[in-house]
Chains A and B, each alone.
Chain A
Amino acid sequence: MPKRKLDPLPSAAFQILLALAGEDLHGYGIMRQVAEQTESRMRLGPGTLYSSIQTLLEAKLIEELDQREDAKLGQERRRYYRLTSTGRKMARSEAQRLADLLRVARARKILRGEYV
């Protein structure tokens, strides 16, 4: 039985790293941030979200913080997650890879635009 791998980085894991790039978030916060940054194309369910979080934690790309309340969501204590420096590097390298891919796509005239 294989261990889950991050090479290549799965799309959900990359989105979670991007969501945490701005601020520390709890699970539901990550889900909402991912939905926002993908214009609701990716709505992470609990299974996908927490299994991705588990993998990222084991790879030390994110870390778990002490539980605390989210004032906007009531008094329930929630686990927050933070991007580590390794996670930031990984997100940057994945973004760079996608940018390179985008440049190729533009060069092949599959996509228009010059902003990348």
Chain B
Amino acid sequence: MSEKIYACLLRLFPSHFREAYGDQAPQLFRDRARDEKGFFPRVRLWLDLLADLAISLPRQYRYVRPAFAGAVAPQRLEGTPAFFVLTDESPGSGALIFGCALSMMALSLFSILLVHAGSHRPPSASSYQRAYASDSRPFASGHASEQAPGDAQDAIRNASRVKPYETKSNDSQPKVLLPLGSSRFPDAWPPQMQDVAERKRLMNAVIDNLKKHYVDREVARKTADALLAHEKNGDDDKVADGGAFASLLTQQIRDASHDMHLEVVYSQEPLPDLLPESTAADFARYRKVMERDNCTFKKVEILPHNIGYLKLNAFPDPRVCRATATAAMASLNRADAIIFDLRDNRGGYSSMVSLIAAYLFDHPEYMYDPQESPTPHSWTLSPVAGNKLADKPAFVLTSASTNSAAEQFCYDLKMLKRVTLVGETTRGSAHAGVFHRIDDHFGMGIPEVLPVNPFSNTDWEGTGVEPDVKVDAAQALETAQKLAEGRLQKK
């Protein structure tokens, strides 16, 4: 009787165990039962068996026979679906019939859904692109405007820095702002600025803002005096429209202050009273766009001669993209040289500039940021644990579109003599100033912090960053590859 009970319990074990030891286990039970007679030994025997079942049953069901494990492993490595065989037994006929019926039902349901879904129009590609363009607009307008809300301080700072309009020109001249999407000038363009009283009103507002907000009060006073002197000399009398007046004032301000970050801007459309503050919804949208776009890490690959290549189209917020950035850099860790392709990079966060630059040094390096006074965060967090790129040749590809934070990356690493810039002179936008609204059409950008530039008295504002090797952007990658190969051969 006892043996029959044990034989029933043995059926709880998986089939591969029963096949291998289905004869020996009852034999062992019989041996013990024969040798352990009497009430207490028999109770102990059953307690032992129950404890043994509790311990060994889960182990047996977790266990995979090596033959199956070996067969599955290579498939998993290749990324193809893998199937685990849980039992050696072939399925019963009932299970096969049930499986067939279920498959037929699933196929029928899928067909019905396919026909039903056919009556709905899918979203068009063009609408998707429009939505995406709208979501990614902050990148086009530069460094500060990309700040997404994460903390109150950022939101307050950015509210005033946001420039909701794209610039018409990208040269070193003062900017005339046009609303996004405007394709032609209205009939009233350009507005007349021949009214002396109107010019005076604007100039006084500019002077007030300078004295109130500019980081160096003494320079602000001297600049204000220069503006008044120009007015007295009649230098402003010839301007005819708002755009020209903004340009003239900017030129006069920069001549007097020698600060290329100061500018007066004119907008054809009325400027909003309060520039919109970033919200949690904006940040969620930003996160969604970044996740969809792989945080703008467009290509991460190893080129011939073990040259690492990273094409990055923005410097995204590390709060969203730190993991993507570290993974990208880790995948290039064993490269013998590295090429950063910033030809389509429109800027982003200086914190991401520091994060990526950290891989190029084995000690902390100061990264000049035109938007910030030095803080402990101004130094890269080098050395990065496990990083092997700190002493490898590095190249950065540039174009005339390389903008803002991407220019910071180029400028700082060029000044530190850590990279070779290959391509075209960059766009020349430091976006260092905080935007102040003067009236419906005029505003000005005024730096409110005192960044420390250890390399030079000027940065890339208005001039761009000059490449070390000047070639067309289209040829930059090929050129950099040749340079890298040459550098590696010399080693």
Contacts and interface: CB of A to CB of B under 8 A. Distances in A.
A is bound by B: yes
A46 B21 contact: yes
A36 to B, nearest CB: 13
Given A1-B63, A3-B64, A46-B25, A73 B31 contact: yes
Main secondary structure of the interface of A (DSSP, over half): helix
Interface in A1-53: 1-4, 27-28, 31, 43-51, 53
A45 B48 contact: yes
Contact of B21 (A3, A50, A76): A50
Contacts of B184: none
B51 A50 contact: no
Interface stretch (B52-60, B225-233, B436-444): B52-60
B129 to A, nearest CB: 46
A43 B48 contact: yes
Contacts of A79: 24
A54 interface: yes
Interface in B43-89: 48-49, 51-53, 55-57, 59-60, 62-64, 66, 69, 84
A58 interface: yes
- The contact size tier of chain A is 20 to 34
A44 B32 CA distance: 11
Contacts of A44: 52
Interface in A52-95: 53-54, 58, 73, 76, 78-79
B27 A78 contact: yes
Contacts of A46: 10, 21, 24-25, 28-29, 49, 52
A47 B10 CA distance: 9
Contact of A58 (B17, B24, B51, B66): B66
A79 B28 CA distance: 11
A50 B32 contact: no
A28 to B, nearest CB: 4
A27 B13 CA distance: 18
A74 to B, nearest CB: 9
Nearest to B56: A47
Contact of A27 (B10, B24, B51, B69): B24
Which of A2, A44, A46, A53 has the most chain B CB within a 10 Å cutoff?
A46
Nearest to B10: A46
A44 to B, nearest CB: 8
Contact of A2 (B52, B60, B62): B62
Contacts of B53: 45, 47
Contact of A1 (B21, B31, B64): B64
Contact of A45 (B27, B52, B84): B52
B20 interface: yes
A78 B28 CA distance: 10
Contacts of B66: 3, 58
Nearest to A47: B56
8 contacts: A1-B63, A28-B32, A44-B52, A45-B48, A45-B55, A46-B52, A54-B17, A58-B66
Interface of B: 10, 13, 17, 20-21, 24-25, 27-29, 31-32, 48-49, 51-53, 55-57, 59-60, 62-64, 66, 69, 84
Give the top 5 A-B pairs by smallest Cβ distance, nearest first: A45-B52, A47-B56, A46-B25, A50-B21, A28-B31
